[in-house]
Structure 1
Amino acid sequence: MAETSRPAPVRVADAGSAERLVAETLSVMRELEALLGRESDHIRVGRLGDGLAEAPQKTALAGAYLQGLQAVKANAVALARFAPEGVAALREAHGRFTDAVSANQAVLATARAISEGLLRNLSTELTRSAEPKGYGTGYGGRPAPSPYGRSRSAPLVLSRSL
């Protein structure tokens, strides 16, 4: 079994390496925040393809962000000693980033709920139009249920390329 190459853990030993770690983590956080904003903007106006086009870059940035967070946590004492203003900047940026992630998640959840609702309504309409018309239990009512279960409707076809 082949091992995946993992980057060596970052060790902060001086002010220069502390500032470099803070700067790299802030940079990745800003890039990911901007990407999430673009994704949210596209999805809000219904351009799902454009919104999801940067998914590979989003995955890569999220991985880099998590690695940066792990390095920051592993070097918390050294960062507090060598770059206290960097730690404050990271805390502030992380608060903004958390807000951006929450907004993005809300937009994605709304888009998912809307698309599921549309598909559910479409399925209901297709099933209703496939039901036999005629006299049922009352005037204009539905026919008596089949003893063999629900009536079968035509299959619903979904295009994922939209």
Structure 2
Amino acid sequence: MSVAKRILDERPRIASPLEARALIEAVIEALSALSHLVGEETELVRAGRLPEAMTREPRKAELAGIYMRGVEQVKLNAVALARFAPDQVTRLKLAHIGFQALIDTNQLVLATARAVSESIIRELATDAGKPSRAASYGPASTVGAGVFARPNAGPLVVSRRL
């Protein structure tokens, strides 16, 4: 990855087929590393291992930055790249399409995890706020003077590991 980062940080002007291939290879290398990391994150979230998935965020941000700089380089040198390495440009486009599909899957998994967690919290809040009268000898009987009791009343515990 250091070669890709170095090439992409230099902001080269493409003047030969060799330079064109080097730039595109650097961008594809950055995209490949980012894709791998996003794929790992997706699987961890899908498995419910959110804290572990969150540890990948700094590296993902770094790789995304490198990739975006590469995309800017490609845009700046689009004419030269199309002239010197049209087959590599096609390869880059296909890699980007594959990455988009991976991002779509990642977003779907994240939205599902968000919806599930919101549903759990909503149910907990509803259950915690629902009073129930203790049953004694009649449907309207109470324990004490209007005291409400919850069956198995106890402290509410929420796991932060979810």
TM-score range, shorter chain: 0.7 to 0.9
CA distance in 1, matches of 2:36, 2:94: 16
2:62 maps to 1:60? yes
Partners of 1:84 and 1:117 in 2: CA distance? 50
Question: 1:28-107 to 2 correspondence within 5 Å?
Answer: 28-107=30-109
SS of the equivalent of 1:133 reads coil
The gaps in structure 2 that reach 5 residues or longer are 1-8, 141-155
CA shift at 1:8, angstroms?
4.9
- Tell me how large the CA RMSD over aligned residues is: 2.3
Unaligned 5+ runs, structure 1: 1-6, 141-155
Letter paired with 1:119: I
Count, aligned residues:
137
**Corresponding position of 1:133:** 133
| TM norm structure 1 | 0.76
Which residue of 2 is the match for residue 147 of structure 1?
Answer: none
The TM-score with structure 2 as length reference comes to: 0.76
Report SS of the residue matched to 2:133. Answer: coil
What letter is aligned with 1:28? A
SS across alignment from 1:22:
helix
